[in-house]
Amino acid sequence: SDMAFGIRELAKRLAHIRLKMNVQHVFLLAKAHDATLIANTREVAHWLLTRDQHYKVYVEDTLEHNRVFDAEGLLASNHSFEGRLKFWTNKLCAEKPQTFDIVLALGGDGTVLYASWLFQRVVPPVLAFSLGSLGFLTKFDYDGFQNTLSRAFKEGITVSLRLRFEATVMRSQVHNGDSARDLVEQLIGEESEDNHTHKPDGTHNILNEVVVDRGPNPTMSTIELFGDDEHFTTIQADGICVSTPTGSTAYNLAAGGSLCHPDNPVVLVTAICAHTLSFRPIILPDTIVLRAGVPYDARTSSWASFDGRERVELRPGDYVTISASRFPFPSVLPLDRKSKDWVDSISRTLNWNSRQRQKSFKEWN
């Protein structure tokens, strides 16, 4: 058992990886519909191109002819920039993610989620600048980005390998309305050897959570939940939220789940407005394979969404598998106070004050 605890320590250390940087290809990411962010993107691009002539800077291809970004003007300002300002496409992210040494995200936590969406397989280290207050994933102030980047490129960075889920929609190959079929039988019963009952229909690597809910239906959803080869229970609720530790501060918290340190190798399953008294948030090992599906005799469809995007209809008989992804998300930690990073972000969010007492709402006595 001493060995067991030694391995836990080891696992913890492996979740934080220190990287020396040999930066050449820098990927810039911002929501491209916001004029302020486009100006910021230009500012960072200009600084990088000026700083080192070996740097190549990639910006979103929609900026190529954007008036605010003014690529032409940028290139004209310094002839050494020629050939070093490049334009990325979604396709390039999908096919050649290894091209990039680092992703610099400008914006809020939503921009970091967008980075996770763009890089569905290998993800370059993501260093996120906040334009407003710091968030759970945006750990650097935009003000002073020059110092931050100079120091990071010189001293190296530490990344926290954040667990992502791989979620696959499985479509029932049975004619709709065949309510004699039984999802439980198909997945863990006598039919579980039959590979023809369902076909995959799209896989998503997600950083925060998979939600299966009632979507536009005014009535509740009925969801069958399976863990490995067990049928856990039938949930009657608005939906369920299956969250990574990183996502624990997002929808999971709104649904009543616990805050969870991102290094914990766990999966958080929380019902959304359960219509029974017998469900409580559950913390499972990240080695489990979860399946959440719509029973064949359900009166309505449910909807799956992935990191709050891409809502997909699940018809009766369909399900989603959720398991730990082989492609974690390397989030660059603050250069200082690395080990306190999580507590700092929790304190900011919950208005914890580590020195001053909080005002209690109970003033009595």
b or e along 185-216 (b: 16 or more beta carbons within 10 Å of the residue's beta carbon)? ebbbeeeeeeeebbeeeeebbbbbbbbbbbbe
Tell me: does residue 9 bind its own copies (CB under 8 A): yes
Tell me: does residue 179 bind its own copies (CB under 8 A): no
Residue 182's nearest CA partner among 316, 16, 320, 343 is 316
- Distance (Å, whole) CA 356 – CA 62: 48
Q: Which stretch binds its own copies (CB under 8 A): 90-98, 173-181, 314-322, 324-332?
A: 324-332
Tell me: does residue 110 bind its own copies (CB under 8 A): yes
Tell me if residue 194 is catalytic.
Answer: no
Residue 168's nearest CA partner among 123, 113, 205 is 205
- Distance (Å, whole) CA 220 – CA 239: 7
The DSSP bridge pattern shows strands 140-141 and 157-162 to be unpaired
Nearer to its own copies by C-beta: 47 or 227?
227
Nearer to its own copies by C-beta: 170 or 225?
225
Residues numbered 81-100 forming contacts with its own copies, rule: CB under 8 A:
none
Question: What's the gap between Cα 128 and its chain centre?
Answer: 13
Residues numbered 213-232 forming contacts with its own copies, rule: CB under 8 A:
215-216, 218-220, 222, 227-228, 230-232
Q: Which residues pair with 31 in a beta bridge?
A: none
Residue 46: count of CB within 10 angstroms of its CB = 16
Nearer to its own copies by C-beta: 21 or 282?
282
- Distance (Å, whole) CA 193 – CA 232: 19
Tokens representing 162? 């954040």
Tell me: does residue 4 bind its own copies (CB under 8 A): yes
Residue 338: count of CB within 10 angstroms of its CB = 14
Tell me: does residue 365 bind its own copies (CB under 8 A): yes
Nearer to its own copies by C-beta: 135 or 317?
135
Tell me: does residue 202 bind its own copies (CB under 8 A): no
Residues numbered 241-280 forming contacts with its own copies, rule: CB under 8 A:
245, 248-251, 253-261, 263-266, 268, 272-280
SS3 83: coil
Residues numbered 148-177 forming contacts with its own copies, rule: CB under 8 A:
161
Pick the catalytic residue from 2, 34, 109, 201: 109
Tell me: does residue 309 bind its own copies (CB under 8 A): yes
Tell me: does residue 12 bind its own copies (CB under 8 A): yes
Tell me: does residue 318 bind its own copies (CB under 8 A): no
Q: Please give the radius of gyration of the chain, using alpha carbons only, rounded to the nearest integer.
A: 23
Given candidates 53, 77, 90, 133, which one binds its own copies under the rule CB under 8 A? 133
Q: Which stretch binds its own copies (CB under 8 A): 48-56, 67-75, 91-99, 210-218?
A: 210-218
Residues numbered 276-305 forming contacts with its own copies, rule: CB under 8 A:
276-287, 303, 305
Q: Which residues have a catalytic role annotated?
A: 109
